[in-house]
Amino acid sequence: MRDRPNVPIKPAVRRTTLAVDVVVLSPRADALAVLLVRAPVGAREKWTLPWDAPQPGEGLEDAAARIASAALGTAPAYFEQVGTLSDGRRHPGEADVSVGIAALSPASADAPMEEAEWFPLAGLPALAPRHRTVVDRAAAVVRQRVDQSPLAFRLLPPTFTLSDLQAVYELLLGRRLHKASFRRALQASYLVEPTDEWHSEGRGRPAQLFRYAPRKRRGARRGVRFDLFTE
């Protein structure tokens, strides 16, 4: 590391090409799935993430909603930025800068449009390197934030059984959870409320349906947790 000349920068904007790349996630067949669209003929890969440039005056999340809707047929319920990339990796539209956005869609959402298809996260086809990175970041962000943010509820229809909810958590966390503990913790969290409806799915006792209805929490904050330092 050598000395840096002690002159202030004269800041100035610079023109670049920008794309919004959307990772639509949904639980399909007991796995987290990503929505991909067929790439134009002649592209290096057969599939890409849904992407486009934001229109003038259009916010990034608004652009993501438009882009996802075009592939899914309906707008996802939730969007979250997962990072902006500007490195050497190739983008299918040669954008200099990509804004990666994760979108969550309930399992019950309609089938995707003609040129789009769900792929399980573990079995994706080849993607442009930039898109591959965006997918990995989206998965990591969603998995990491699942207990800070009501992400899991955005992957379920408006009413759901507690077993459904637990299954989504297990999908996101990648491990089994204990039924009684899960329910006790959920109870204490005041995040859901029961409805009058019951869901009967063939065998077994019918399950009560719940809806996401977070209430004010008792203010008792806990000490620090040095947990979860996964890196």
Helix (H) or strand (E) holding 163, with range, is: helix 162-173
**Measured from the CB atom, is 5 or 201 closer to a copy of itself?**
5
End-to-end Cα distance, the chain: 27
Which one of DNA, a copy of itself, none is in contact with 122 (Cβ closer than 5 to 8 A by kind)?
none
Structure tokens at 84: 């902006």
**Measured from the CB atom, is 65 or 121 closer to a copy of itself?**
65
Report the residue from 30, 115, 193, 197 that binds a copy of itself according to the rule CB under 8 A.
115
Residue 227, C-beta contacts closer than 8 angstroms, at least 6 positions apart: none
Angle made by CA atoms 205, 206, 207, in degrees to the nearest 5? 115
Residue 222 interacting with DNA (CB under 7 A): yes
Stretch that binds DNA, among 62-70, 111-119, 139-147, 218-226 (CB under 7 A): 218-226
The secondary structure of 32-66 as a DSSP string is EEEEEEEPPTT-SSSEE--EEPPPTT--HHHHHHH
Q: How many residues contact DNA, by CB under 7 A?
A: 25
| Least distance to a copy of itself, CB of residue 15, Å | 5
Helix (H) or strand (E) holding 2, with range, is: none
Report the residue from 43, 126, 173, 213 that binds a copy of itself according to the rule CB under 8 A.
173
**Measured from the CB atom, is 20 or 156 closer to DNA?**
156
| Least distance to a copy of itself, CB of residue 189, Å | 4
